[in-house]
Structure 1
């Protein structure tokens, strides 16, 4: 029980109630909100983060960093971004001199997360980094160290840890309303016919890095414990498209007290479900990781309705409040590191045809 309690508290479940009234910090002027610069203007920034920043209360989009000059005029016009807040990857370090920017959000291919998180930290700005945190545990540690050295906060973009129904899963890991947990099943994937850089090993592609961190992270907070062993197998059906990386991965996480999480991820199949079996009942979320409409139910008839709020906006407001009130991030770098430690073991097991490896 102590391990469960420690996991949930460090994951931020109880932090929201500890914040002071926001009126202490916020007023009507532009500078009263935290200024965010998005690094990388791909699909997630374009379709999720930038629109979400129009709905946030405590932060706003003020800058962009891009290697695609042709995108700049469109972004400037749409979001009223001044020339002084536009950077490319070579000039990004100059944000250090820009008081309009408080937070740098890294939204780049996975292999670039560590490099640009460290650059952002060295510029003296708080850092939000998309999942997965990095390519390996050593990179994660370097990112954490850089932020600590520069006295800035680091958050990892696990939006589900901010989402209402997934947070209920975290609470139930502590309260065990259906008795001791026995098994978790978690799966996340979609049919990806045009993976782009996600098919390139050097860029951090593959289903496990992209979608597999959802069942991995969700299993950890749903159980409320840390896994002690793992076994995994990967396979690819479209060899020409996924010749460098995994198209699909199946992995089993073993937790203390005999709890098992059977997980799947894929770029070849649509899947989006979380199921929890306990000694006195069960509960589920389906879908559990969609951008909208996370919903579920329980074996005794409870219905978990969708939250109805923009997940990315909630995530960024939570992280902005942590900065404004100098509180711990709900999903800090240490949480991302824990996933990557397990992820490395998953790949190691898959390379050994499913051999069980202790973590």
Structure 2
């Protein structure tokens, strides 16, 4: 292909010099040129080579500050496939019985846990004892008790525990938070979070209470909980909740199909949210204040996120969430960067406490008070 060469050869000398002069002037403005990253790179092993682990691996190809260097899986064939696809050395491959040996591997800095929810607690604690930083998918654990034990283990081992809250780095989400902090919406009075889709294969682990810890609430309801917190900017002080189940065969005991829940906040705002495994086309956040509003739809999907406020459409850049997340988490681990919205273990624990309260409210029919 000589297209560019032919083009340059056909250009007049003066035009070429003008172009080169413009490039030179542009280069003299360092803020306008993205400099190649030369800092420390976070070397990551992914634990759990399923659908989401694959999504993270693909997104990391575009990272500047993070790199996929290892895998942990219970399926040997997946390990071999990933080795070939991502050029992973044999020395960085582990299975669930022997991954504690990662403590002797200086080529891995952190492990990203993308296994089923019920496995997180034990795996994160083992990773901490091996002296590696942990990134854990949400929900961080099955309940707040497990979450607290994970936080304690990582603190004791002096390693970071981060949670895969990719929306905390999404540009349009951050713009809404910036506007709220600037007072553009005035006093926040109401939030609505709708998260739902019709789940498929009835044999999958997400519909197995022993592995998932629940149903739609654990998988997607957590987005509405977390979204209410970061959009309103406060921690809820009470919760009420109701469950609807139309298919007890598919959604067995302990696996919620649809839960409606309400949150109350100290500033007077209320949130009305819905989480469902049996209703399609639910991925919407809406927030109203006495001076304006914000609406996001889709609000938490893999993208593109779309939204508008009383000032107009949100036009911030569309990003690959996991790429930005991993680069930002590298900065948190190595540079001590403070994100706009926390992604640490304590943040994950706050959501787990609310989930515990929602399930208690469903069980008892009572308003449950929340404590810090």
TM > 0.5 between the two? yes
CA contact (8 A) 1:173 1:221 kept: no
Pairing partner for 1:147 from 154, 159, 162: 154
Q: Does residue 347 of the first structure (1) align with residue 347 of the second (2)?
A: no
Distance 1:306 1:206, change over 3 A: farther
CA contact (8 A) 1:198 1:206 kept: yes
1:268 and 1:305 map into 2 onto residues whose CA distance is 32
Larger Rg: 2
Pairing partner for 1:209 from 193, 203, 218: 218
More displaced 10-residue stretch of structure 1: 114-123 or 235-244: 235-244
Distance 1:306 1:207, change over 3 A: farther
CA contact (8 A) 1:294 1:307 kept: no
Instruction: Report the equivalent of 2:306.
Output: 295
TM-score w.r.t. the length of structure 2 is 0.86
Pairing partner for 1:281 from 264, 287, 292: 292
2:86 and 2:214 map into 1 onto residues whose CA distance is 30
CA contact (8 A) 1:147 1:154 kept: yes
- Find the residue that maps to 2:149 and give its secondary structure: helix
CA contact (8 A) 1:25 1:324 kept: no
Offset of residue 26 of structure 1: 2.9
- Find the residue that maps to 2:251 and give its secondary structure: coil
Structure 2 unmatched runs, 5+: 1-33
2:79 and 2:121 map into 1 onto residues whose CA distance is 24
Instruction: Report the equivalent of 1:316.
Output: 326
CA contact (8 A) 2:197 2:276 kept: yes
CA contact (8 A) 1:53 1:60 kept: yes
Deviations 1:250-286 (A, max 9, x none): 1000011321010011111120001111112212111
CA contact (8 A) 1:294 1:306 kept: no
Structure 1 unmatched runs, 5+: 1-21
CA contact (8 A) 1:207 1:248 kept: yes
Pairing partner for 1:89 from 96, 104, 113: 96
Pairing partner for 1:180 from 174, 182, 187: 187
Offset of residue 100 of structure 1: 0.9
1:133 and 1:157 map into 2 onto residues whose CA distance is 9
1:23 and 1:96 map into 2 onto residues whose CA distance is 34
Pairing partner for 2:230 from 221, 230, 251: 221
Q: Does residue 332 of the first structure (1) align with residue 341 of the second (2)?
A: no
Instruction: Report the equivalent of 1:166.
Output: 173
2:183 and 2:222 map into 1 onto residues whose CA distance is 24
1:339 and 1:169 map into 2 onto residues whose CA distance is 21
Deviations 1:168-199 (A, max 9, x none): 23223322212211110011111102151111
Offset of residue 327 of structure 1: 3.9
Offset of residue 352 of structure 1: 1.7
1:356 and 1:289 map into 2 onto residues whose CA distance is 28
